[in-house]
Structure 1
Amino acid sequence: MSRIALVSAMHEELAAVLARMPDEQKTVVAGREFWVGHWHGQEVVAVLSRIGKVAAATTATVLIERFGVNRILFTGVAGGLAPQVNVGDVVVAREFIQHDMDASPLFARHEVPLTGMTRFPADPTLSHALAVAAPLAMQDMLATLHPSQWLNLDLAKAQFHQGLIVSGDRFVSQTMESQALRRELPDALAVEMECAAMAQVCHDYGVPLAAVRIISDRADDSAHVDFQRFIQSIASRYSAAVLDRVLFALAA
């Protein structure tokens, strides 16, 4: 059996995903709503990750243990860290680090104790599928958006990046903290609160994971766009568009 998990970070993203599933059925486990159905003939389970590393790890574990998923795709927003990563850009993960993991001096900083690992890789096959779909999905989304919904962003010039995404149990929104992260992890492209924990669970179970994040802010003191409007107008549409293309490709 092949069953793919579609994990969203926000309610609006999940709603956009469920709108593409004609036969979704809800099951509640561990206080979470899991929606089982089909998309482009693929058997899928859609769910919110919830916020933070423990919540995301619980969600990943239930997906694997209870629903038997053998691939996980994550979509959501993130803060841009690298200078070249701007609001409206898209980052496909190649690897993940928990930036707040520190069991030193017993283990090296960022190393997950007893694993010997600091960086957890994203699945190359699924990541390639996301990387191929990402720019095409942006075109799909822009075709449905009125320019007034672009939130003063030039989304037609959005850049696509692949590399390191870092996760931690802090919402990074201050310039000093984002600068400290860039000094500590100079190749980090974006910061969020879930995927590195999910990557650790998926590594333990041998389940492929890939993630794509659209940049909603620069993880600093400046307010670039209205966050809630960004989620509703842009992020939710983009998540559905990229998953639509990936699932169609996987079904081919």
Structure 2
Amino acid sequence: MGIAGGIAKDLHTLDVVIGGEVFYHDYTPDTLLKKYYPFQNRYTCDKKLQGIASSVCRSTPEVAHFRIGNIASGDCFVEAKDTKDHIREDLDGVCCEMEGAAIGHTCYLNKVPFLIVRCISDLADEDAPMAYDEFEKKASILSNHVVEGILKAI
């Protein structure tokens, strides 16, 4: 659970993204990940958990909009248009954050089903630092509500 910058054009602050796949978008070991086990940098979230999360989002009044989409992880705060465009157009990412791919990678190696849920705190653009400051707490609380609902449903 947590917050992310919105990359997809249809996302707005406080929308929820349920992970489809998680992947590294800029982390240097990306090239290493393709050469060594497990020979990939994308990890698929559990379909059953996606379904539960979707049901929770539909029944949570505070969630105005949600979608399932691919989540990009990197070691930078995205606010440059070219980086945002690259993640959306070349990598098929809908939002970006910093931890999801590492979680997915670890779960994959240990054969543990996982799901990443993010609430949009900013739109990963030149206004991102100001929007992040404004929406970080609200987005974190909303993400927490969704995850609590998932845990109750499991």
Is TM > 0.5 for Structure 1 vs Structure 2?
Answer: yes
Which one has a bigger Cα radius of gyration?
Answer: 1
- Distance in 2, matches of 1:183 and 1:249, equals 35
Secondary structure class of the residue paired with 2:121: strand
Post-superposition CA distance 1:36-83 (Å, at most 9, x none): xxxxxxxxxxxxxxxxxxxxxxxxxxxxxxxxxxxxxxx111011111
Residue 184 of structure 1 pairs with residue 90 of structure 2: yes
Question: TM-score normalized by structure 2?
Answer: 0.86
Q: Report the equivalent of 2:18.
A: 92
Is 1:210 aligned with 2:112? no
Partner SS, residue 209 of structure 1: coil
Q: What is the distance in 2 between the residues matched to 1:240 and 1:249?
A: 14
Match of 1:197 in 2: 102
Change (3 A) 1:170 1:248: same
> For 2:47 and 2:35, how far apart are their aligned partners in 1?
22
- Do the aligned partners of 2:2 and 2:143 also contact (CA within 8 Å) in 1? yes
Q: Is the 8 A contact 1:127 1:211 kept in 2?
A: no
Output aligned runs, 1:154-165, within 5 Å.
158-165=64-71
Q: 2:149 aligns with which of 239, 242, 245?
A: 245
- Equivalent residues in 2 for 1:37-186, closer than 5 Å: 75-101=1-27, 102-103=30-31, 111=34, 113-137=36-60, 139=61, 142=62, 158-185=64-91
> Greater helix share, 1 or 2?
2
Amino acid in the other structure paired with 2:108: H
Gaps of 5+ in 1: 1-74, 143-154
| Letter aligned with residue 55 of structure 2 | V
Aligned length: 152
In structure 2, how many angstroms separate the alpha carbons of the residues matched to 1:88 and 1:222?
15
Higher relative contact order (CA 8 A, sep 6+): 2
Structure 1 distance, partners of 2:113, 2:70, is: 17
Q: Secondary structure at the match of 1:111?
A: helix
Deviation for aligned residue 1:223? 4.5
Q: CA–CA distance in 1 between the matches of 2:131 and 2:95?
A: 19
Give a deviation string over 1:197-235, Cα, whole Å, max 9, x none: 111111111111111111111111125964334232x22
CA RMSD after TM alignment: 2.2
- Percent identity over paired residues: 33
Name segments (4+ residues, structure 1) moved above 6 Å.
none
Distance 1:237 1:190 in 2: 18
Gaps of 5+ in 2: none
Is the contact made by 2:4 and 2:121 (CA closer than 8 Å) also made in structure 1? Answer: yes
- Secondary structure at the counterpart of residue 85 of structure 1: coil
Assess, with a 3 A threshold, how the Cα gap between structure 1 residues 80 and 115 changes in structure 2: closer, same or farther.
same
Q: Is the 8 A contact 2:17 2:118 kept in 1?
A: yes
